[in-house]
Amino acid sequence: MNECCTFTLRTLQNLVVDNINVKLSQTNISRHLIDMLHTIKLFAEELIRHTDQGDLVYYFYETNYNLYTKRTRGRAKKGKRAIEKLPPSKGANLQIQCAVSSVFGVVAYRTHRGSIKMQTIADFIEGLYKVIKESNVYRDEYTDKKVVVVFDNAPSH
């Protein structure tokens, strides 16, 4: 594992067979590796701590949706091919940003054509923070609590 962190369970299974001639199940290998995932464990512990303290936790996610769609099947007369001329481009992506919480549900979302830069995400989070702070629920129940935003693991954040 220290040599290559991208080994799959199947690769590790094969390495064990090749090196020590023992056949282990992928489930067994996975179970033993779980204790080695320190970063995930620390993250989970920190998130649980915030939840236990009553902090307001939001989850931010972004994804893209390709607006270009095409059929993968067509019809033609018997003995003829179904041919359709398509544009050379796959079209633009629609970027979707969303923030949700167990208290508010969907707090904010927006769509954006083209790529999203880090400043765009920062602006969205700043707007999200303002919406949260101005809400009645926050003022009534969470004034003395932290606002925690959990991002997915994308490198752009």
- Domain 55-69+89-157 classified CATH 3.30.420.10? yes
Neighbours of 137 (CB within 10 A): 12
User: Are 34 and 79 in contact, with CB atoms under 8 Å apart?
Assistant: no
Computed from CA positions of residues 126, 127, 130, 135, in that sequence, does the dihedral angle turn out positive or negative?
Answer: negative
The domain locations on the chain are 55-69+89-157
Task: State pTM to two decimals.
Answer: 0.60
* Tens-digit pLDDT profile for residues 18-47: 888 888 888 888 777 776 654 566 778 888
* Tens-digit pLDDT profile for residues 112-147: 887 778 888 889 999 999 988 898 988 998 989 999
